C-alpha cells in the first residue's frame, strides 16, 4: 500500500495542484454567473419596486381631485358624489371622504361607511393612532398603514390637508380629504403575482410604528432557498417607508451549471494528473532502461557503454573543453576472489567504488569497464596536487581492507592518466594512452604505490 502511494505521488500532487486551479476557475465562473443573476434580479427588483410605488401613489393622489372641490368653491362642497363616483373606479378603493375642520361630513360610498360621518379625524377617538399622528403633523399628502379600519378590515389610509385662500388672502386650513384602500387587495394592482409566476420569493415589510418590530405586509408563494442571492432595499411611498426583499429562485449549489463546472474541473484535473503520472512513469521507465543499459548493476557506477556515451557527449558538446581520464586497475584482485570467494570480490569492488566516489574531486564520473578496471573522469583543468591527495586518501582507506567482512588484506590499485585533447581527441586514443600509463605504473610499483606520477 505504501509503495503504491509512493509510486502515485506525482498523480496526487498534480491532482491537488490542478484541482485547486480548476476549482478556482470554476469558482470564478460560479461567481460570474451569480453576478449575472444578481443583475437580472436587480432589474426585476427595480421594475417591481417602481410598479408598487407608482400604483399606490396613483390611488392616493385621487384625493387631489376631491381637494379641488373645496379649493375652487372657496370651501363650499358641491358635486362631491359625482366626482367621488368618477374616482371610485377600482374595487381596491374602499371609501373617499371629506372632513372640513377634521370632521368627516361626506363619504362615498355611503353604504357600509355611515359610521364615519361625524368622526373627528384629528381626535384619538377616531380609533387609529397612526392616522391621527400623521394628520396632526403633516401638511402634505401622507399615507398610514396598513391599519385596522373603523368600518372593518385593514387598509391603507391617505390624507391630504386642504387650504383655501388666494394670492392676496392668507391661507386658511379648510380640512382634510381622505381615501381608504383595501389591504392587501391593493397590492394585487402592483402585479406582484408576476414574481410568483417567475418563481421569485419576495417579502414586503415595515417597522411597526407601535412597537418597532418587523411587520410583514406581503410574502410570495415561492419559498426562499438558503444561500440564494437576494436584494433588499427600502421603498418610499410618500412619507411611508417599506422594505422590499426579492430573492433568486435557487442558491448557487442548486444550479445545474454549478455542478457542471465542478464536474468538468474534476474531470480535467484527473485527466491532467493521469497525463503527469504517465509522463513520470515513462521517464522513470526510461531512466531504469538507461540504468540497465548504462549502469553497472554491481557497483552502481557507469558501465562500458555508459562511459562511452558520457565521453561521446563531452567531446561532441564542447570539443575544446579539457578533461582528465584516470584508468584505475585493482592489484591482485584475482587472489582475493580465489581466496575469499566471488562474494568477497564483489564486496571489494563495491567498497572500491564507494571509496573513490567519496574522495574523488567533484564533479566527476566513475565507470567500471571490466572485472576490476575503472575509469575516473574529472572535467576541466586538472589539479594534479589535489587529485594526488584524493587518491592517496582513497589508498589509505582501501589499505585497511574489510576485516569486519572477513577480508583483512589491503586493497590496492594502479593508475594511468590521459588528458583530453592534449593526449587524444577521441575515446580510443584516450583509453589507450591511459591504459598504457596504468600498466607502466603497475609494472613500476605493483601494489606498493598506486598514485600517478606528476
Q: Shortest CA distance to 67 belongs to which of 140, 146, 119, 157?
A: 140
61-188 topology per CATH: Beta-Lactamase (3.30.450)
DSSP 327: E
Q: Domain limits of the chain?
A: 2-58+190-253, 61-188, 295-445
pLDDT tens, position by position, for the chain (454 residues)?
555 555 677 788 888 888 888 888 888 888 888 888 889 999 999 999 999 999 999 999 888 888 887 777 766 777 888 888 888 888 899 999 998 888 899 999 988 888 888 888 877 545 455 655 555 555 678 888 898 888 888 999 988 888 877 667 677 888 889 899 999 999 988 888 999 999 999 999 999 888 889 999 999 988 888 888 889 999 999 888 999 999 998 887 888 888 888 888 889 988 888 888 888 888 888 878 877 889 998 999 999 999 999 999 998 888 889 999 999 999 999 999 999 999 999 999 999 999 999 999 999 999 999 899 999 999 988 888 999 999 999 999 999 999 998 999 999 999 999 999 999 888 899 999 999 999 999 888 654 443 443 3
For residue 298, what pLDDT is reported? 93
Q: Shortest CA distance to 402 belongs to which of 411, 394, 393?
A: 411
Are 242 and 215 contacting, i.e. CB atoms less than 8 angstroms apart? no
DSSP string, 292-354: HHHB-TTTSSB-HHHHHHHHHHHHHH-TT--EEEEEEEETTHHHHHHHH-HHHHHHHHHHHHH
Report d(CA 255, CA 406) in Å as an integer.
Answer: 76
Q: Across the strands, what pairs with 326? A: 376, 417
DSSP 167: S
Q: Which CATH number fits domain 295-445: 3.30.70.270, 3.30.1490.270, 3.30.457.10, 1.10.3720.10?
A: 3.30.70.270
Query: What are the grid coordinates assigned to 300, written together?
Result: 552502481
Amino acid at each position: 500500500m505504501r509503495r503504491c502511494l509512493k509510486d502515485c505521488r506525482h498523480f496526487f500532487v498534480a491532482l491537488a495542484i490542478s484541482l485547486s486551479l480548476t476549482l478556482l476557475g470554476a469558482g470564478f465562473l460560479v461567481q460570474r454567473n451569480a453576478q449575472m443573476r444578481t443583475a437580472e434580479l436587480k432589474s426585476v427588483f427595480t421594475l417591481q419596486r417602481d410598479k408598487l410605488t407608482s400604483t399606490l401613489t396613483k390611488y392616493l393622489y385621487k384625493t387631489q381631485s376631491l381637494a379641488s372641490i373645496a379649493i375652487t368653491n372657496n370651501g363650499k362642497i358641491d358635486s362631491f358624489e359625482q366626482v367621488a363616483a368618477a374616482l371610485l373606479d377600482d374595487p381596491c378603493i374602499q371609501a373617499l371622504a371629506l372632513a372640513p375642520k377634521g370632521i368627516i361630513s361626506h363619504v362615498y360610498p355611503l353604504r357600509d361607511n355611515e359610521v364615519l360621518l361625524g368622526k373627528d379625524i384629528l381626535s384619538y377617538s377616531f380609533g387609529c393612532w397612526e392616522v391621527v399622528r400623521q394628520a396632526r403633523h403633516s401638511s402634505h399628502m401622507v399615507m398610514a398603514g396598513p391599519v385596522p379600519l373603523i368600518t372593518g378590515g385593514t387598509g391603507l389610509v391617505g390624507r391630504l390637508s386642504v387650504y383655501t385662500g388666494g394670492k392676496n388672502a392668507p391661507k386658511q386650513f379648510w380640512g382634510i380629504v381622505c381615501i381608504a384602500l383595501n389591504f392587501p387587495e391593493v397590492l394585487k394592482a402592483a402585479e406582484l403575482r408576476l414574481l410568483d409566476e417567475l418563481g421569485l420569493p419576495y417579502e414586503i415589510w415595515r417597522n411597526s410604528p407601535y412597537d418597532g418590530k418587523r411587520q410583514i405586509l406581503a410574502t410570495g408563494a415561492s419559498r426562499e432557498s438558503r444561500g440564494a442571492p437576494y436584494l433588499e432595499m427600502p421603498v418610499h411611498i410618500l412619507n411611508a417607508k417599506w422594505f422590499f426583499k426579492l430573492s433568486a429562485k435557487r442558491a448557487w449549489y442548486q444550479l445545474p451549471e454549478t455542478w457542471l463546472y465542478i464536474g468538468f474541473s474534476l474531470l480535467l484535473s484527473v485527466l491532467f494528473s493521469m497525463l503527469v503520472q504517465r509522463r513520470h512513469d515513462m521517464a522513470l521507465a526510461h531512466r531504469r532502461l538507461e540504468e540497465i543499459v548504462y549502469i553497472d548493476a554491481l557497483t552502481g557506477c557507469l558501465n562500458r557503454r555508459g562511459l562511452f556515451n558520457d565521453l561521446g557527449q563531452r567531446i561532441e558538446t564542447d570539443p575544446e573543453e579539457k578533461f582528465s581520464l584516470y584508468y584505475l586497475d585493482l592489484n591482485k584482485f584475482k587472489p582475493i576472489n580465489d581466496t575469499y570467494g566471488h562474494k568477497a570480490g564483489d564486496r571489494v569492488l563495491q567498497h572500491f567504488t564507494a571509496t573513490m566516489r567519496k574522495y574523488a574531486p567533484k564533479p566527476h564520473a566513475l565507470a567500471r569497464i571490466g572485472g576490476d578496471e575503472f575509469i575516473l573522469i574529472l572535467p576541466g583543468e586538472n589539479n594534479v596536487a589535489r587529485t594526488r591527495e584524493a587518491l592517496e586518501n582513497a589508498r589509505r582507506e582501501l589499505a585497511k581492507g574489510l576485516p569486519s567482512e572477513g577480508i583483512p588484506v589491503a586493497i590496492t590499485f594502479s593508475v594511468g592518466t590521459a588528458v583530453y585533447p592534449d593526449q587524444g581527441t577521441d575515446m580510443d586514443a584516450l583509453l589507450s594512452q591511459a591504459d598504457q600509463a596504468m600498466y607502466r605504473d603497475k609494472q613500476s610499483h605493483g601494489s606498493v604505490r598506486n598514485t600517478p606520477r606528476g
